[in-house]
Structure 1
Amino acid sequence: MNEQLALAVRRRTDDLVALTSDLIRFPTVNPPGDAYTPCCEYIARRLKAKGFATQFVRGTGAPGDSDRYPRTNVIARREGRSPGATVHFNSHIDVVEAGEGWTVDPYAAVVKDGKVFGRGACDMKGGLAASIIAAEAFLEIYPDFPGAIEISGTADEESGGYGGVAYLAGKGFFSKPRVDHVIIPEPLNKDRICLGHRGVWWAEIETRGAIAHGAMPFLGDSAIRHMGALLHAFEEELFPALDAKETRMPVVPEGARRSTMNINSVHGGQTEDFFPGLPSPNVADSCRMVIDRRFLIEEDISQVKGEVVSILERLKRERPKFDYSMRDLMEVLPLMTEEDAPVPSAIAAGIREVFGKEPEYVISPGTYDQKHISRIGHLHDCVAYGPGILDLAHQPDEWVGIEDMVQSATVMAMSLDVLLRGAAPPR
């Protein structure tokens, strides 16, 4: 083990806790996108003091971007003393709403029992703090390193990343020759390397009918009943077929190694905003459903869509007056970085040294910002690795372990040593 790097990280334990706590205290809740700018300014001040050049990039025109809620991103870069590769640590700064059920203030960053509690502690401000500490420890030990180190804090990952990594990737911030290797410190356990994610297809399906008086429904045509027929067909045909598909991808948890579909929402007929009045006696002439289909690397996107369309078309042939429309909302293909690529190899070497064991290679059941780096930036040497337990994300009393952060930061620092200096520890 590189004892110098490990000790340099360990000496910064109190600083790591303080940095994580400071980041949690920015209530960067998305939606709507609160406190992005002050959080990015804090990160910039911290890294500028360590010799990084910093810049702010607003995701102008991205969903949710406004003068009240600007999609602010910060990118910091520290050049080495000689040419070489660039390693980029990317973390999202946004968090989901706190919700109910907390026993501590979600934005007070309570430290107790070897943990830091707060919204975003695990997902993923602990990872952001660990990457900063890793870089600072590396710079202390190897000030004359070749290449460059970048660290970013980006917007909107929780809502798709369009004002953050997607926007930046479109501007060339995640492409060669600027960047060669990317590590995303998402919380997937300190001894795991996440190589990618399943695919996702979101779509809205609308069934149509004809409005009529609720006392004479036979004069109309209920779009809700048509949607019910579709839901019944999904239950009888599609869901069993999806459950029979299994992937070679090491997706966690086990249940996500099969194809899945979630019914996100169903809306039809009278709205619920009629109080304190009464509902109108109408037959619903429209019903809308949003589906969230997660698919495997073995499945083609045209096949995924075709399974749904074939059911819709059959109902149109067999069910009187059945009519529908469908529109795509989001489409992301599955991706999986090879285990022997430079970034996962470097992280694996660090895990062997710090934990004395082989890493577990996993695939995320849901997508994260790696999709934009691969699809838009065309940069494929990218994985997720960071402290924290994924199951704690978005939960009440979310926390990240202090020792987990220290150990993960040590792995990250050793990965920098491998990727920038070529100092691979022995297997």
Structure 2
Amino acid sequence: MISLDSVIADTSALIGIDSQNPGPLEGKCAEWVGNRLTDAGLSPARMPVAEGRDNVVARVPGDPAAPRLVLLGHMDTVPVGEGWTHPPFGAAIADGRLYGRGACDMKAGLALAINLLDALTTGGRPPRGDVVLVATVDEEAPDMAGAHRLVESGFLRPDDQVLALEPTGMRLRIAQMGLRWLTLRVHGRMAHAGRAHLGIDANHLTAKVVDRLKTVFAALPYEDPVLGRPRFTCGVFRGGVATNVVPPSCEARLDVRIVPPMTPKQAQALVERVAAGVVAEHPGARYEIEPLGAERPPVRAADDAPIVRGIRTAYQTHTGQPVPVGGADGHEAYTDASMVAALTGSTSCTVFGPGATDQAHTADEYVPLADLDLGAHILWTLVENW
């Protein structure tokens, strides 16, 4: 069995390691994970991704004829930000919650995976199939370089059953919204604000594009029974020189979330059409759009995939209830498992883990200790029933 006390201790230790991305990144975290796995009697290996950034891979061997269970856990976190009342690296426990940056996203899930391998190693009985942990880098960045390197390395097999232990509120995330990030730059003409008619206000044009995109995406006729409707957000808006100067340029970073049958290319083409239409209304202006990061199409696991059936059975065993699917479980948040599915075409990649997506990337991020307890039982039963 998996020790809950050990999971809590390892989650706390991981929270105490600053692995912000951008920031210190994952070096110290990868070293800690490697040492922890070595202490458990395993032989972890490094998979180089970039200078000073390695995925960490470990395996408990089982029946080579059975599909492997591949657990994914990323080591990086988003920046700390402001507004904390608990120390972001303090791993404080209060009211049944463990607080800190990365508590739910996703050092708790990583700790669960580590302790599963530890328990299997010391248990004296090999699992029915290989159980593999890949601790990845760069999940929180646009390129998701760790997941890309994992696929490019040829390490994965067609029948691998892939599980990212990301925060889902202990709900099964069987489907994943697609995502395209885009950078929009609009170029106008600088002029004195007192003679504004001689200039072209790039801020104004960019705002018109963003406003029109909000309307266009809200009117799209697509709605998925699990994922819901497409969503559009302008997350960054920068422009202007001074208060009394007509802005000559403006940059906006756009977040487009899509559902089937849309593709990232279709989403980008739609943004292009809207931007072109607005800019055409203002002779002398121009625009450019650049993709930001990797394409992330919508993906879905098969209902009959062993990993999906296994989680459903294990959850029912320990709660007496069917595992919840859909709703507020973070189908909007792209994961390493989603990227593996997108790059390989696998329908055996899914997401299930402790903590709620609503708490990820927030001040006073936390993971409920009850989720760690339930997660430990479900993971153990998943492997026992493999």
1:352 and 2:331 correspond: no
The equivalent of 2:14 in structure 1 is 23
Note if contact 1:122-1:388 (Cα within 8 Å) is conserved in structure 2.
Answer: yes
What is the TM-score of this pair, normalised by structure 1? 0.82
| TM superposition shift of 1:159 | 1.2
| TM superposition shift of 1:268 | 2.0
Q: Could you tell which deviates more after superposition, 305-314 or 292-301?
A: 305-314
Supply the distance in 1 between the matched residues of 2:31 and 2:177 (Cα, whole angstroms). Answer: 34
Supply the distance in 1 between the matched residues of 2:60 and 2:130 (Cα, whole angstroms). Answer: 6
Note if contact 1:71-1:163 (Cα within 8 Å) is conserved in structure 2.
Answer: no
Amino acid across the alignment from 2:182: A
The equivalent of 1:5 in structure 2 is none
Describe the shift of the 1:405–1:214 C-alpha distance in structure 2 as closer, same or farther (beyond 3 A): same
Supply the distance in 1 between the matched residues of 2:251 and 2:67 (Cα, whole angstroms). Answer: 49
Question: What count of residue pairs does the alignment treat as equivalent?
Answer: 382
Deviations 1:137-194 (A, max 9, x none): 3444462334322112211211135332222221123x216x711111001022x111
Describe the shift of the 1:402–1:302 C-alpha distance in structure 2 as closer, same or farther (beyond 3 A): closer
Describe the shift of the 1:238–1:352 C-alpha distance in structure 2 as closer, same or farther (beyond 3 A): same
Deviations 1:257-316 (A, max 9, x none): 22110012222231xxxxxxxx48543322222211111113244543343333333334
Note if contact 1:169-1:376 (Cα within 8 Å) is conserved in structure 2.
Answer: yes
Deviations 1:183-219 (A, max 9, x none): 11001022x1111311111222222222334443333
Give SS of 1:193's match.
coil
Q: Percent identity?
A: 27
Amino acid across the alignment from 1:189: G
Note if contact 1:51-1:78 (Cα within 8 Å) is conserved in structure 2.
Answer: no
Residue of structure 2 aligned with 1:298, choices 261, 267, 270: 261
What are the ranges of 5 or more consecutive residues in structure 1 without an aligned counterpart? 1-7, 61-65, 252-256, 271-278, 420-427
1:241 and 2:219 correspond: yes
- When Rg is computed on C-alpha atoms for both structures, the one with the higher figure is 1
Deviations 1:59-99 (A, max 9, x none): 12xxxxx5xxx223211122236653321111011112222
The equivalent of 1:100 in structure 2 is 82
Describe the shift of the 1:285–1:25 C-alpha distance in structure 2 as closer, same or farther (beyond 3 A): same
| TM superposition shift of 1:124 | 1.0
Give SS of 1:352's match.
helix
Supply the distance in 2 between the matched residues of 1:48 and 1:378 (Cα, whole angstroms). Answer: 33
Supply the distance in 1 between the matched residues of 2:265 and 2:146 (Cα, whole angstroms). Answer: 28
Amino acid across the alignment from 2:256: R
What is the TM-score of this pair, normalised by structure 2? 0.90
Supply the distance in 2 between the matched residues of 1:336 and 1:57 (Cα, whole angstroms). Answer: 27
Give SS of 1:159's match.
coil
RMSD over aligned Cα atoms: 2.4
The equivalent of 2:40 in structure 1 is 50
1:14 and 2:5 correspond: yes
Describe the shift of the 1:124–1:302 C-alpha distance in structure 2 as closer, same or farther (beyond 3 A): closer
Supply the distance in 2 between the matched residues of 1:82 and 1:171 (Cα, whole angstroms). Answer: 20
